[in-house]
Structure 1
C-alpha cells in the first residue's frame, strides 16, 4: 500500500474514533509498520489534519477535515437545496430521515434530519458507507439492479455477512426475496436487522431523465412506532420526498456525475 493510501486509511480510521488513538493502535488496526505509522501521523499533523490528544499519547483529527466536508456539502447544494426537504419529512414523521448518495459502487451517507425531539429517539453512530444487505437504504438501491448486477456489487464489497455483532448473518436467497418485495411495494423495509429495536423504510432517488438511481432516502425509528399502518402512511410521504430530491438533483453538483 502506498504512503498516500496509508494516510487516507489513517484519516478514515481516526474519523471513527473522535477521542483519538495511539500510534500503536493505528499501526495494529491498519497493519502498517509502527515506524511508518508514526511518520505518516507526523506528516498529517504538519498538514493540520491530525493533532495530539491532551495526553500526548493519542492522535485525533483536527476540525480542518470536517470543515472541508461541510464546505463541500454546502457548495454541492445539500445545505440550501436538500436539507430543507429532509427537515420537512423529519418534522412530518417525527423520525430520523437520512440521505445517501451513490458514487461508483458505493452508497454513502451525506445528510440527515432528526424529527424526534424527546422520548425514544434513533440516531445511530454509523460509518460513512452504507452496509447494503442489512439496511433499508442498501436494499432500496439493490432492488433497482438486475440480479446479476446486484450479485456483482455484493461480491465486490464482500458483504454477505453481518454488519454488527447483534445483527443476523444474511442469506443471499433471502435477501433477493426481500428485494423482490421491495420492488412490488416501491420501498424497502427492514426491521430488527441492522440494529435491535429499530426499523426503517427507504426508497431510491432516480434521475428524472433516465430513471437511473442516484441515491436513497430513508425514515428510521424505534420498531414499536413502526406499525403497519404507520409505515404505510410514511411510505407515501417518502415517495413524495424522493421525487422532490430527484427534482432538486438537477441543480446540485452532488448528483451531477451520477
Structure 2
C-alpha cells in the first residue's frame, strides 16, 4: 500500500468506529508496523482530520471530514437537487429513507432523511458501504445486474455477516430467491433480514432510458410498523422517488462511477 492509500484506509477504519480505536488495533487492521501507523496518524492529526484526546488514548475522526463532505455535496449540487426528493419520501412514509449510489461496483450510502416523528425510531449507524446480501438496497441493486456480475460482487463481500437478522440468506440460493422476487416486482422487501425487528423496501435508481443502475432508495422501519400492507401503500411513492432522483441527478458527478 502507498502512503496515501494507507491514510485513506485509516480514515475508512475510523469512520466505522465513532468512539475511536487505539493505535495498535488500527495497525493490526492495516497489517502494517505500528511505527508506520503512528506516522500516518500524526500526519492526519496535523491536518485536522484525526484527534487523540490524551497520550495513549484512542484516535477518532474530527468533524473536518464531515465538513469536507458537505462542502463537496453542496458544490456538486447534490444537496439542492436530491435531498428534497429524499426528504419528501421520508415525509410521505414516516420512516427512514436512504439514497445509496453506485461507485465502481460498490453501493455507498450518501443521503438519508428520518420521517418518523414519534414512537419507535429506526436510525442505525450502518456504515458507508451497503452489505449487499442482507439489505433491501443490496437486493434492489443486485436485481438489475447480470447474474455473473452480481455473484462477483457478493463473493467480494462474502456472506453470513455476523449480526445479520434471523431471516438473512445464508447461501447463494437463498439470496437469489430474494433477488428474483425484487427483479419481478421492481421492489426488494426484507423482514428481519438486516436486523431483527426491522423491515425495509428498496428500488433501483436507473439512468433514464436505460437499465444502468445509478443507485437505490430504501424505506426502513420497525417490523411492527413496516408491514407488508404498509409497503404496498409506499410502493408507488418509492418508485416515483427513484425516477425523480434519476431525472434530477443523472448528470451529477456522484453518478459518474456507476
Shorter-chain TM-score bucket reads over 0.9
State the partner residue of 1:113: 113
Deviates more, 1:13-22 or 1:133-142: 13-22
State the partner residue of 1:244: 244
State the partner residue of 1:162: 161
Judged with a 3 Å threshold, the aligned counterparts in structure 2 of structure 1 residues 41 and 257 are, in CA distance, closer, same or farther, namely closer
Residues 190 and 200 of structure 1 are in contact (CA less than 8 Å); yes or no, is this contact kept in structure 2? Answer: yes
Q: CA deviation at 1:55?
A: 6.0
- Spell out the pairing of 1:17-28 with structure 2 (5 A cutoff): 17-28=17-28
Alignment partner of 1:230 is 2:230: yes
State the partner residue of 2:102: 102
CA deviation profile, 1:86-136 (whole Å, cap 9, x unmatched): 111101110000000001110000000000021101011011000001000
Judged with a 3 Å threshold, the aligned counterparts in structure 2 of structure 1 residues 138 and 96 are, in CA distance, closer, same or farther, namely same
Q: CA deviation at 1:25?
A: 2.6
Unaligned runs of 5+ in 1: none
Unaligned runs of 5+ in 2: none
State the partner residue of 2:152: 152
Q: CA deviation at 1:4?
A: 2.1
| Corresponding residue pairs, total | 257
> Aligned Cα RMSD in Å?
1.7
Deviates more, 1:74-83 or 1:118-127: 74-83
Q: CA deviation at 1:164?
A: 2.4
> In the aligned structure 1, how far is the partner of 2:175 from the partner of 2:254?
29
Deviates more, 1:15-24 or 1:39-48: 15-24
Q: Equivalent residue of 1:91, what SS?
A: helix
TM-score relative to the length of structure 1: 0.93
> In the aligned structure 2, how far is the partner of 1:220 from the partner of 1:152?
27
> In the aligned structure 2, how far is the partner of 1:43 from the partner of 1:109?
28
Q: CA deviation at 1:257?
A: 4.5
> In the aligned structure 2, how far is the partner of 1:17 from the partner of 1:152?
28
Judged with a 3 Å threshold, the aligned counterparts in structure 2 of structure 1 residues 177 and 19 are, in CA distance, closer, same or farther, namely closer
State the partner residue of 2:209: 209
Residues 165 and 192 of structure 2 are in contact (CA less than 8 Å); yes or no, is this contact kept in structure 1? Answer: no
Q: Equivalent residue of 1:225, what SS?
A: coil
Moved over 4 A (4+): 165-169
- Spell out the pairing of 1:51-130 with structure 2 (5 A cutoff): 51-54=51-54, 57-130=57-130
Q: CA deviation at 1:206?
A: 0.5
Residues 134 and 163 of structure 1 are in contact (CA less than 8 Å); yes or no, is this contact kept in structure 2? Answer: no
State the partner residue of 2:136: 136
Q: Equivalent residue of 1:88, what SS?
A: helix
TM-score relative to the length of structure 2: 0.93
State the partner residue of 1:178: 178
> In the aligned structure 1, how far is the partner of 2:161 from the partner of 2:60?
29
Residues 131 and 159 of structure 1 are in contact (CA less than 8 Å); yes or no, is this contact kept in structure 2? Answer: no
> In the aligned structure 1, how far is the partner of 2:137 from the partner of 2:165?
19
Q: Equivalent residue of 2:247, what SS?
A: helix
Q: Equivalent residue of 1:44, what SS?
A: helix
